[in-house]
Structure 1
Amino acid sequence: MKVTAAESFVLEVPVGGAIADSMQSVERLEFVGLRVDTDAGVAGCGYTVTVGAGGKVLQAVLDSLYIDELIGEDPRNVRQIWSKLYHGKAHWIGRAGATTMAQAAVDIALWDILAKAAGEPLWRLLGGAHAGKMPIYNTHAGWLNYSVEQLRREAGMLIDQGYRTLKMKVGLDDLSEDLRRVAAVRSEIGDGIDLMVDANQKWDLRKAQEAARRLADFDVKWIEEPLHPDDVRAHAKLREQSTSPIALGEHVYSTHMFRDFIERNGVDVVQVDVCRIGGVTPWLQVASLAESFGLPVCPHAGDLMQVHQHLVKAIPNNWLLEVIPLWEAGPFEHQIQLKDGYCLSPEVPGASTDFTKEAFARFRVS
């Protein structure tokens, strides 16, 4: 099997209503990716996601650094191709950020081809360590632009839908206001529902230490991204003092950086994101590393769950799958299926990454 052609694309998809965390307010997402064709008649689709800016930069990386290098390659040699691209033209200007996110789109497309050629969903091709329903947690009810009343209402609705684990955003300038909002949600959901909080890198070490101490009153199951994502030392120091577990990985772009966080005891819950780490190939490496240290993997939903619904089922150290259901019917041909607080197992061959023709016609901008 040989790659015969590849074409990049950018889709701009509205999320249906503004959502906000401590970093930004988001009204649309950019899906940046490529379709890869082979001489066997099997085509793969891969993508990465930005929050409404930078998509053309990622497309330029695909067009100028990666696509020509794919032509003539056998997609079955996916790990060799990953290494070739990583150590090739992009190595001197990247190794993280835009180049890694663009490489993720390539790698996902190749794994999509392999699963389709095998006639299996990706999770089964990768070994199927977890064949049953996957427990999920919902972030969509906890945005910072929601009022306290809306937080209560949304949390109650999710519990009625079968969710037993929720996450909400923190990171306001006034920590007391964060705590008031957390208290309101905890009061609404009771003690039987797990609750996590996500600061999106807002705090310095001093404020994170104070927040961790005061959040202990609400039995949060983890504090996510409390600090700058490159500061291994500060995370390790915070973890020494916090009674709540520390979760991170959304903005960690290399296996080496995950190694440092894990070895220096800076993380309890590994949230490796397939779109940020460079694709399925390094994602599996990070998951294996976490397993060797006895740490669970709960991936960040940077792919809008389409690929991660496969990956969490392929590893033994999964815990929860994050979901952010932004649409009634999303842009994918085979949208993730959620029911009663679980993700149902996808059975269609591939990585669930193909977009509908309607989505391309309506949202493609490049």
Structure 2
Amino acid sequence: MFSKYTVFVKNVPIGGHNPVVIQSMTNTNTLDTEKTIKQIINLSNAGAEIVRVSVRTLDDIPSFKKICEISSIPIVADIHFDYKVAIESIKAGASKIRINPGNIGSLWKVKEVVKVAKDYNIPIRVGANSGSIKKEFEILNMPRFKALAESALEEVKVMEELEFNNIIISIKSTDAKENFLANKYISEKVPYPLHIGITEAGIYEDALILSSAGLGALLLNNIGDTIRISIAGDPIKEVLAAKKLLTLLGFKKGPRIIACPTCARTEINVEYLANKVKEWTKNIDEDINVAVMGCVVNGPGEAKHADIGIAGTKTGGAIFINGEIAETVLFEKLEETFKKYIKNLISERKKINTDS
């Protein structure tokens, strides 16, 4: 179930019946203000709605403050150990802070952080990952997924005892099944929004497969309010992958390009054309299924569930709408003709929606 509570990270609502929010994290040196701001702009342009920035010590605060002032999207302060850094990050303009209460130290330090968060009305993200399961739960020999979830619930309990409910919870494991079971368990226990992800998912291809399986399973079970696909490398790839996952699963508007797996009847390079169609439709923010099929023998029929498609011919392609061929053109006219039909399709939809 999606969370019952809605938490605002600046102007971005997380939880309730709001859309799933995409986030990522900068990998620049926070002291390099210009480089960090540039990366945040690039992440925002790619589709990130929230960006997390590491605030390591008090030395990072002046730069972090400037970053918060300039950024057009909410900035989350990632804090470890020092409660003073958490407090100063809030005062510097953080829209949310990420802490582990257990790492902050004495309860009075956590209280100080919570007090300032209340004063500034910003949420706190708490939780656990597979590397921070509390020893007392491991000693009880309970299943790891439950120990992971209970470790996070301990952090939530600290917040609740301080009468603080402006909370987002994050549970992440490197194991997709454990990750699913832990998030499912905690979603049934508390009403707070959940930030989901697979921690340390790996390099690009591995991270895509693991995160798609792990996060897709959660989202299809209505669990998860904000996501990050963790990839070792360029964070822009994280955002593009998250955006595509949400689109393909129907949680975000956009075109879905389907393509046949090819066979001996194929008369075009399907992979090449599918990539071209992907490029032609990249700026469309409507839910449209586009099919790219290798031949006209049974391509349109097999893809009649698509809104629009192209079936390959020896000299070009046949444009089909709802399984019926509308026009056959040469290669050099394919892009122009396809764009004309898809523009008409979008216009007709908008007209129907307006009239109704």
Pick the TM interval, shorter chain.
Answer: 0.3 to 0.5
**TM-score of the superposed pair, with normalisation by structure 2:** 0.40
**TM-score of the superposed pair, with normalisation by structure 1:** 0.39
Greater CA radius of gyration, 1 or 2? 2
Q: Choose between structure 1 and 2 for higher RCO, CA contacts under 8 A separated by at least 6 residues.
A: 1
